[in-house]
Structure 1
C-alpha cells in the first residue's frame, strides 16, 4: 500500500470512529498534503464499506452545498454528496436523540424516491420519469471535524457532513413546480431561515441530475429504490436538547421535529 493510500485509510478510520466516540478529528486537508476531491471521496467510500461491514444498508444519498446560502455558510463553491444508511433515517414525529451527534444542525429540504436507475447521462426528462414520490424532508448535518473547520475536501471526506435524515409523508406536487415550493423554518417559534426550491441550483431536480453524472464518473449508478435529498433551501441552524423545529412548506404541508 502506498503512503498516500495508507493516509487515506487512517483518516477514514478516524472519521468512522468519531460517529461513536464523538471525538472530533483535525481537518483531513491538514493531515493529507494536497488532498483532492478524488482522494476525499475515496475516504468517504472507505467509511461506507465500514458501515456495510457492520450490517448497515445504504438506502440513498444526500446532495449538499446546492444553495448559495449553504456554500457561503461553509465557505465552498460547489456541491458535494454523501450517503446515508437505514440506521441514519428517522420518520417525522420520531424524537431525535441529540446525543447521537457532535455539533448538529438542521436543514429543510425535499427528498425523492426513485423507481428506476439513473444513467450518468440522464436528461432532466429522464430524472423526472425516474421519480416515484416526493417527500418533505429535513437533513441533520453534523461534523466529525473539529469546530466545523471544513473546506470542500474536508466535508466530502466526512460523508458530506451527513448526520441523519428525517422523511415526511409523500406530497402531491407537479415536478415542474418544484422551484416554487417554499419552506420557512422556525426553531422554538423563532424564525430560523426560509427559502424556495429555486434556491437549490434553480430547481431541486438539477442536483439529482448532477449526482447521476458525478456518480457515473465514479462508475456507480443511482439505483431504483434509492432516496435522494437534493439540498437545503436555506442556511442550517444548530439545535440542542429540548428544542422544537417546525418547517412550513405552505400548501404542501409541514414537518415538526423534537430533539431529546
Structure 2
C-alpha cells in the first residue's frame, strides 16, 4: 500500500467509524496534487463498497473565506450515493464527529459540463436547480486542519439534502435565502454570495474535475458552495433552508 493509499484508508475509516484522527499534514507540506490524490483514493474505496460518485461539491466559494485561507481558487470534493439524505428525513448524529450545516444551491445536469465552457454554455447543460443543505464534518480532531488536510478529507463533505427541483431558466443569481433551526432563522444570505453567481461555481467545478481527469456528467449533482457561514448541528434539531422562489429543503437530526 502506498503512502497515498494509507492516508486515504485512514480518512475513509475515520468517516465510516465517526472517529476523529490527527491531522495528516499539520505543517502543510503535502502538495495540492497529493491532497487531491488522497481524496480520490478515499472516494474510490467507497465506490468499491457500492457507493459511487454521483456529483461534486464546491468549497471556499465565499471571497472572504478564500482570503482568510490565503487562496486564489476554490476547492472541490466528491459526492457519493451514500451521502444523500432524503429531503425531510433524519440523520443520526452518531454517524458524524462534529457536523455542521451550510445552505446551498444545487444543480442537476442533463448534459456534461466541460472545462472551458462559459457560464451561458454551462447553464444550457443544467436540467434543474434546487435549494439544498450540505452537512460538513471534518474527520480531524477538534475541527482543526490545514488546506491540504481538508482537501484530502473530501473538502469536509459528509452529506447533502436536495429540495424540490425548479426550472433553471429563472434568474437565480441573487436570490435571498434563510437557514433556520427549529423554526428560528440563524443565517440570512443570498445566492450571490456563491462566487457572485452560482453559475461561476459550476464552471469552476468543470475546470477542476477536468484537471483530475474527470468530467461533470449528465445526471450529476453539483453543490455550488455555501451561501452563509456554517452552523453546528445539535441533537433533536429540525433544520431547513428556504430560497426565494425555489422553496425549501430540510432534515432532522436525532
TM-score past 0.5 threshold: yes
Q: Does 1:96 align with 2:91?
A: yes
- Asked if the contact 1:212–1:222 (Cα under 8 Å) also holds between the matched residues in 2, the reply is yes
Specify the alignment match of 1:240 in structure 2.
234
Does 2:186 align with 1:181?
no
Deviation at residue 154 of structure 1 after TM alignment: 1.1
Q: Secondary structure at the match of 2:42?
A: helix
Aligned 8 A contact 2:61 2:195 in 1: yes
Following TM superposition, by how much is the alpha carbon of 1:173 offset from its aligned partner in structure 2, in angstroms? Answer: 4.8
* Alignment-derived partner of residue 247 in structure 2: 253
Following TM superposition, by how much is the alpha carbon of 1:64 offset from its aligned partner in structure 2, in angstroms? 1.2
Is the Cα contact below 8 Å between 1:76 and 1:152 reproduced in 2? no
Q: What is the number of residues matched between the two proteins?
A: 253
Shift of 1:71: 4.4
Question: What SS class does the counterpart of residue 99 from structure 1 fall into?
Answer: helix
Once residues 28 and 98 of structure 2 are traced to their aligned partners in structure 1, the CA distance between those partners, rounded to angstroms, is 26
Aligned to 2:216: 222
Q: SS at the partner of 2:198?
A: coil
Counterpart-to-counterpart distance in 1, 2:69 and 2:90: 31
**Is residue 2:131 matched to residue 1:136?**
yes
| Cα root mean square deviation, aligned | 1.8
Output the TM-score relative to the length of structure 1: 0.91
Instruction: Report the alpha carbon displacement of residue 244 of structure 1 after superposing the two structures with TM.
Output: 1.4
TM-score for both structures, normalised by structure 2: 0.93
- Partner Cα distance (1:33, 1:166) in 2: 32
1:15 pairs with 11, 34, 57, which one? 11
Structure 1 residue 238: Cα displacement = 0.5
Deviation at 1:184, TM superposition (A): 0.8
- Cα pair 1:136 1:171 within 8 Å, conserved: no
Residue 91 of structure 2 aligns to a residue whose secondary structure is coil
Separation (CA, whole Å) in 1 of partners of 2:244 and 2:123: 23
Q: 1:125 aligns to what?
A: 120
1:97 CA displacement:
1.7
- The residue that corresponds to 2:143 in the other structure is 148
Q: Report the Cα offset of residue 10 of structure 1.
A: 1.7
Show structure 1 runs of 4+ deviating over 4 A.
Answer: 69-72
Instruction: Please say if 1:60 is aligned against 2:55.
Output: yes
Could you give the per-residue CA deviations for residues 70-103 of structure 1, whole angstroms, max 9, x where no partner exists?
Answer: 547x745342111121111012111122211111
Are 1:61 and 1:229, in contact at CA under 8 Å, matched by a contact in 2? yes
Q: Alpha carbons of 1:254 and 1:76: their partners in 2 closer, same or farther (altered >3 Å)?
A: farther
Question: Matched residue of 2:76: which SS?
Answer: strand
| Structure 1 gaps, min length 5 | none
Deviations 1:197-236 (A, max 9, x none): 1100000010110111111122221111111101011000
| Structure-1 separation of matches of 2:41 and 2:225 | 23
Q: Is the 8 A contact 1:70 1:235 kept in 2?
A: no
